[in-house]
Amino acid sequence: MKTLILITFIFFGGLQIAPTKIKVQPTTPRIYNAKAPRLEIYSPKNNQKVRGRYAIYGYAEPYAKVKVHITSTYYEKLVNPQKETITKGKGPIDRINRTYPVTANKIGYWQINDIDLTNRNWEENFTIKAIVDGRTVTVRVYDNTHPVVID
């Protein structure tokens, strides 16, 4: 810590030297790491409602080998024949469990096309996990569209 001495001038009393201690904080150098590890899923967003075919894409380090793991659980659909109503049955039941390998391009962009995120019965929750070198990013999306009974 450095100490500065201030010299003060008093107009009618002449020159006075008053030692005053001022704390000077040492500056820490800023380190910018241009190759900071990043892993992101841009689409779909976390807690987004989905229905249909989607492109799943994101960002990693350039030329990184990304494993995209998709799992889902759903609730069974029950039909009451007397009242013709559809209700949620037992669950959650595991349905999807797939891993897609993909390589990021020269700017780090990766994409998987045409992934069906539609529920098969009543309500389905999808977990999308991107994995690179021990780093993981997880997004959870859902399709709670209830089936329609047409007479």
Using CA atoms, how far apart are residues 111 and 68, in angstroms rounded to an integer? 10
Q: What band does 9 get if pLDDT is binned at 50, 70 and 90?
A: very low
Indicate whether 30 pLDDT > 60. no
Using CA atoms, how far apart are residues 128 and 51, in angstroms rounded to an integer? 15
Segment 34-85, tens digit of pLDDT:
444 689 999 999 999 999 999 999 999 999 999 999 999 988 888 777 766 7
Residue 108 included in any domain:
yes
Provide the domain count of the chain. 1
Residue 151 included in any domain:
no
Residue 45 included in any domain:
yes
**CATH number of the domain that 97 lies in?**
2.60.40.10
Residue 72 included in any domain:
yes
Domain of 59 in residue numbering reads as 40-143
pLDDT higher at 129 or 27:
129
How would DSSP label each residue in 79-104? EETTTTEEEE-S--EEEEEEEEEEE-
